[in-house]
Amino acid sequence: EAQVTQNPRYLITVTGKKLTVTCSQNMNHEYMSWYRQDPGLGLRQIYYSMNVEVTDKGDVPEGYKVSRKEKRNFPLILESPSPNQTSLYFCASSPPVRMEYNEQFFGPGTRLTVL
């Protein structure tokens, strides 16, 4: 089954404790992205990647890091989480925009609470 998986699905942590949210896709998609969803603010792109070792900042990259060492994986790293990073996070993958079928496939979301 074609899918994007994220782990963990729920996480409660404390300020300053480094954490990683994993994201993996099995569709051989070149593009991957991380978004955060906050009430009334829609989905805001944190980082995106167009291929292995190619990443770029989205609209809200502060406080986050990413890496793309393999095509299927795109982990989101919070080196020193703060309460304002409490949010619902989505990972997404897609073929390149130039392709005919270029919609994003989203993971199930990770609910993060930073105390």
Partner 1 sequence: AQKVTQAQTEISVVEKEDVTLDCVYETRDTTYYLFWYKQPPSGELVFLIRRNSFDEQNEISGRYSWNFQKSTSSFNFTITASQVVDSAVYFCALSYFNTNAGKSTFGDGTTLTVKP
Contact residues for partner 1, defined by CB under 8 A: 31, 33, 35, 40-45, 48-50, 56, 58-59, 88, 90, 92, 96-98, 102-106, 108-109
Measured between alpha carbons, how far is 45 from 66 in angstroms, rounded to an integer?
13
DSSP string, 7-63: E-SEEEE-TT--EEEEEEESS--SEEEEEEEETTTEEEEEEEEEETTEEEE-S--TT
Give phi and psi for 83, each to the nearest 5: -55, -30
First to last CA, the chain: 36
Nearer of residues 19 and 105 to partner 1, judged by Cβ: 105
**What is the token pair recorded at 81?**
């989480």
Nearer of residues 69 and 98 to partner 1, judged by Cβ: 98
Nearer of residues 4 and 78 to partner 1, judged by Cβ: 4
Shortest separation between residue 97's beta carbon and partner 1, angstroms:
5
Nearer of residues 46 and 78 to partner 1, judged by Cβ: 46
Shortest separation between residue 14's beta carbon and partner 1, angstroms:
25
Shortest separation between residue 73's beta carbon and partner 1, angstroms:
17
